[in-house]
Structure 1
């Protein structure tokens, strides 16, 4: 008796449909170009991009609100120009005071 004839396998493992299904499953999960590892990487990249999309949509909305606020009043435009771009009137002097860098121990 050969060694392979003495091995008792369950009947469903000898079924040709089970063998085909098992081979297909192994191929799809591990050997295919778009296997499970790549699918997980694509999913994580997609979720990261979705969170970035939400962040940028929120930033765009905030910028639009600031733009509407600036366009509504000349006083706000002047305040914005003075704070962001250090603009001044002709008869003014502008002094920029920056905090000292922290001392390293």
Structure 2
């Protein structure tokens, strides 16, 4: 069974030379989310706080909603994850606060 977990997070999008991307992200993006120690990704969307886009190489705060499998480890402040597009690691996230779904 899966549940929705909402968190406030810091998002760091790598620059193009590191990620291979040519454009940044628009709010509402749904990259693959890979948590440390897990071999599969989970679904989730990112809504940036106070801005509609995040440029390559940028950082910002965001609200992230994960469709989180119950068998995954708990989401707690400080946990990190990787943002992927296909096999490309394009950025990182770090949970600052858990708002719902604990």
TM-score, structure 1 as length reference: 0.15
Select the structure of larger CA radius of gyration: 1
Higher relative contact order (CA 8 A, sep 6+): 2
Larger proportion of strand? 2
Larger proportion of helix? 1
TM-score, structure 2 as length reference: 0.15
